[in-house]
Amino acid sequence: MVYGSNNMAEKPELMPGTLDLLILRTLKRAPLHGYGIAQSIKRTSDDVLTVEEGSLYPALQRLLLQGWVKAEWKMTETNRRARFYTLTAAGRKQLGIELSKFEQMVAAMGRVLRDAEEAG
């Protein structure tokens, strides 16, 4: 699961499927290993989002099984063997679907929240 960076009690749980979307989006830029994916999400979100390893690796297995990413063992810059994940064509298509679903959900939430504010 992806959490915000505040203290444990305040960490908001994001809706299911958000982690898949973040991983797919991160891999759109370049192939990365698991650690790189977690670091990239943390850095890009200015440390607001932290991906737990306990969620990251099962999510990667799920994406592999769906054929949305592929994995390949390669050497890192420091000459260490690591498993790099790459977005596939199907994954790119899925990213578009997930993004559109996410935007629809955010827009719908925005409408409900604005309506509640106006009523209050």
Partner 1 sequence: MKGPGYWWRKCRLLFGRARFSSELDEEMAFHREQMAKELQSEGMTPGAARSAAMRQFGNAMRMRERSHEVVGFRAETVAHDLRYGIRQLRKSPGFAGEFHSGATGGGGESGGSAENGVKRACLTGDRVALFDAEGLLGVESGGAGSGHPDSKERNGA
Binding of partner 1 at residue 43 (CB under 8 A)?
no
For 101, the token pair is 């679903």
Q: Is 53 a binder of partner 1 (CB under 8 A)?
A: yes
Q: Is 7 an interacting residue with respect to partner 1 (CB under 8 A)? A: no
Smallest distance, partner 1 to C-beta of residue 108, A: 28
Residue 17 binds to partner 1 (criterion: CB under 8 A): no
> Quick check: 88 and 69 in contact, CB under 8 A?
yes
Q: Which of 9, 46, 77, 80: binder of partner 1 (CB under 8 A)?
A: 80
Contact residues toward partner 1 (CB under 8 A) are 33-35, 38, 52-54, 57-58, 61-62, 64-67, 73, 80-83
